[in-house]
Amino acid sequence: MWQKIISIINEHEKFVITSHINPDCDALGSELALATHLRAMGKSVLIMNSDPVPPNYWFIDRKNKAKRFHKNSKHLRKLDEAEVIIVVDASGGWERIGRVGQKLSESKAIKICIDHHPDPVDFVDVAVVDTDAAAAAELIYSLLVEMGATFTPHMAQALYTGIMTDTGGFRFPKTSPRTHQITAELLTHGADPLFIYKQIYEQSSAVRLRLKGHVLSSIETAADGQIAYYSLDQKTFKEHNIEFGQLNGFAGLGQEIKGVRVTIYCVEASPNRVKISLRTDGSVSINQLAIEYGGGGHPSAAGASAEGQVDEVIVELVKKVTYLLTETKTETTSP
């Protein structure tokens, strides 16, 4: 499974590692662990993303190794020099990578994709995709094991964080015996679960927690309680003194309601642009719906960005999901 990628790594010196726009902990953890090992092998490695590391994730990148792409001569030259480009935790095309993807798509370097999303990989030369993996970090872990890497506590911490967050704290459907075997190994290499848990789940500001309260009290249901839906407009979150970038973590709230199969969460990203997040209990797939809106993701967690007014987009989505649920009524609910 890894032989081709390992040969390419062994035979080249200059690497660029990248991932999707708005990098999450799986994207960053995968990038950082892989980069650390490649550097230990003596390779030159640049982690270059379109967006910066969000402040709440700085703890896994204390040395500021994941760079935000700027169209300056230094960055452009470094990207031009790359012999190998490795995309982690993203597939579907260069547009998922954002501005830096646009630049990398023109590169003559060998392009590799390591991912767990069920999207096309025809934009790269070599791909290892395993949609059964709960996180890209699981795949990076097995690549590193295959390469005989020495896991530093920092690498273990980064990969553990990626797996913990992408599995929603070890509960999403892809959480497997392998997931736990890998995290057990990461614990022996120095990952600290309590520290990581606190960094991820207990850093809310009081204002953000109050906004969450507002979101919770605005939840509506449809389709006999099988759909939960709610939205946030700019006026509301600005009144709460919250930035758009701090609104992560609200997408799954509707799933806490008994009987809810699908949660629809929409945020007014800018006037006439709506960020859509979809979650399900695993009994129905919603990534196709996200693709319809130009997005993508997993069967039980997907997203997109649509043009339009937030109120209108959410009404349309409730209709579409209601239709989807009538269509899949006969399907049995499997985990």
Q: Please, are residues 40 and 147 in contact by the beta-carbon 8 Å criterion? A: no
Q: How far is the CB of 161 from Mn ion (least distance, A)?
A: 12
Kindly tell me which of 87 and 136 has the beta carbon lying closer to Mn ion: 136
Establish how many alpha carbons lie within 13 A of residue 137's alpha carbon, considering only the half-sphere containing its beta carbon: 30
CA distances from 19 to 86, 94, 112, 202 (A): 8, 10, 11, 26
Q: Please, are residues 139 and 114 in contact by the beta-carbon 8 Å criterion? A: yes
Cα radius of gyration (the chain): 20
Residue 294, number of CB atoms within 10 A of its CB: 12
Q: How far is the CB of 139 from Mn ion (least distance, A)?
A: 9
Chain residues that interact with Mn ion, rule: CB under 5 A: 26, 89, 136, 166
Kindly tell me which of 94 and 237 has the beta carbon lying closer to Mn ion: 94
Q: How far is the CB of 108 from Mn ion (least distance, A)?
A: 28
Closest-CA residue to 292 (of 270, 321, 312): 321
Kindly tell me which of 31 and 89 has the beta carbon lying closer to Mn ion: 89
Q: Distance between CA atoms of 105 and 280, rounded to whole angstroms?
A: 33
Q: How far is the CB of 50 from Mn ion (least distance, A)?
A: 16
Task: Classify residue 75 as exposed, middle or buried by CB count within 10 Å of its CB (0-12, 13-18, 19+).
Answer: middle
Kindly tell me which of 136 and 143 has the beta carbon lying closer to Mn ion: 136
Query: Which residue lies nearest Mn ion, judged by its C-beta?
Result: 26
Kindly tell me which of 26 and 51 has the beta carbon lying closer to Mn ion: 26
Q: How far is the CB of 136 from Mn ion (least distance, A)?
A: 5
Q: How far is the CB of 66 from Mn ion (least distance, A)?
A: 15
Kindly tell me which of 51 and 89 has the beta carbon lying closer to Mn ion: 89
CA dihedral 175, 301, 288, 212 (to 10 degrees): 170
